[in-house]
Amino acid sequence: MVTGTTAESSTPALSKKEGRHHLFIVNPRSFPLPRELDQIRAEITRDLEGLGETYTIHVSAYPREAIGVIRHYLEGVPSTVIVRIYAVGGDGILFDCLNGMVGVPNAELAAIPHGGSNDFVRAFGEGMEPLFKNIAKQAIAPTIPTDIFTCKDRYALLNFAAIGIESQVYHNYTNMAQWSGEGLRVSPLLTSLYYSISSVLVMFNRRVCNQYYEIILDDNEVIKGNGSINLANGPCYAGDKAPNYRAVPDDTLMDFLFLRESGLLADLSLIPSYIKGKAYEDTKHFIYRKVKKVEIKSNRHLLVVIDGETFSDTEVTFEVVPHAIQFVTPDGVDFKRGVPRS
């Protein structure tokens, strides 16, 4: 961990401005070459020292490690001091930072998008990555209240969850990425291509498509049947997939979409329109709701993906926590209300 020159030992010093401190969590996998990692460190140092701010840089050693690092760090900061936490990388390190800071009222979350798809940043509109990469602007930017979901006391999530076809696709993707190197992780084009091909292949696995669910929405509406589930706080994932494009991370609701299993040919024919957000128009094959709570049970173990984290369980409950965090927005940009993809 590298700390700015005004900090002392392991206790974070206070920022010169408004009692703030800046903690940068860097995912080294987003910077495959040593010189790239050196460059981002140099950029942070230049911008924060140029602003006269105190900062700390931590390079994450492995997935989920940053959660404990952030929690330990925040324990040493008075509750009157604002800690701005920067996720430098992609959505994976953003997930870690969220789960390290969630529930701490004096913590703020910022994204510096250097990952493959940077899906949550796209909730602010297309082409916004250069603005969010501007560290000097991020250091002085305002924040906006942002919703999160909780998942059975396991994790908090910021962008999306899926069970069924999409969770199996993502599970297959992560398995392939483990032996194929960094290519799938750093190339949005390869990520999107893999998702499209794998979605078709998973459709042929009728055990996945035929999994039976009992779903309870907001403790009153019950949906039973075979299919696949998508829950969204943000409008897109996997680079260009936007089945729930109407989702906005500040409306205090989650967007629920359920694909009814209709047979192999029918399911395959739905893929192109589904990923472009056309499911809302097809009430025969899809159920769409805006809700605050979703409980899901099944006759088999559920394979669940939440912002890239996968796990298996017999049942799972998602709940919205309205305006749970403050998210940093350079130049005061706001979430973009979704439009369908062409």
For the domain that residue 82 is a member of, what is the CATH number? 3.40.50.10330
**3-state SS, residue 87:** strand
Q: Is residue 342 part of a domain?
A: no
How many whole angstroms separate alpha carbon 337 and alpha carbon 60?
A: 33
Which of 141, 165, 194 is at the close of a domain?
Answer: 141
pLDDT tens, residue order, the chain (342 aa): 655 533 322 334 334 455 789 999 999 999 989 999 999 999 999 999 999 998 999 999 998 999 999 999 999 999 999 999 999 999 999 999 999 999 999 999 999 999 877 889 989 988 899 999 999 999 999 999 999 999 977 799 999 999 988 888 877 776 665 554 444 444 556 666 766 777 777 777 767 777 899 999 999 999 999 888 999 999 988 767 788 899 999 999 999 999 887 666 666 777 777 878 888 888 888 999 999 999 999 988 999 999 988 899 989 999 999 999 999 999 999 998 776 555
Element (H, E) at 164: none
Q: Are residues 135 and 162 in the same domain?
A: no
312 and 184 share one domain: yes
Does 95 lie in the same domain as 202? no
C-alpha to C-alpha distance for 148 and 96, rounded to whole angstroms? 14
Task: Specify the CATH number for the domain of residue 235.
Answer: 2.60.200.40
| Helix%, strand%, coil% for the chain, nearest 5 | 35, 35, 35
Query: Is 57 found in the same domain as 13?
Result: yes
End residue of a domain, out of 77, 108, 141: 141
Q: What is the pLDDT of residue 264?
A: 64
Looking at the structure, tell me whether residues 116 and 219 fall in a common domain.
no
Same domain membership, residue 73 and residue 196: no
**128 and 204 share a domain?**
no
pLDDT value of residue 192: 66
Say if 114 falls within a structural domain.
yes
Residues 173 and 97 in one domain: no
User: Does residue 263 share a domain with residue 219?
Assistant: yes
Burial of residue 318 (CB within 10 Å: 0-12, 13-18, 19+) is: buried
Pair 65, 209 in one domain: no
Assigned domain for 341 exists: no
Residue 279 lies in a domain: yes
- The answer to whether position 55 is within a domain reads yes
Query: Tokens 């919205």 — which residue?
Result: 320
Domain limits for position 45: 2-141
Say whether both 180 and 61 belong to one domain. Answer: no
Examine residue 340 and state whether it is found in any structural domain, yes or no: no
Domain end marker among 141, 169, 184:
141
- Residue 149 is assigned to a structural domain of this protein: no
Contacts of residue 203, defined as CB under 8 A and 6 or more positions apart, other chains included, come to 165, 209, 264, 267, 268, 271
* Domain total in the chain: 2
Asked if residue 172 is part of any domain, the answer here is: yes
Cα three-residue angle 199-200-205, rounded to 5 degrees: 90
Largest CA distance in the chain: 64
- The verdict on 162 and 136 lying in the same domain is no
Specify the 3-state DSSP secondary structure of 226. strand
For residues 216 and 222, the answer to whether their CB atoms sit within 8 Å is yes
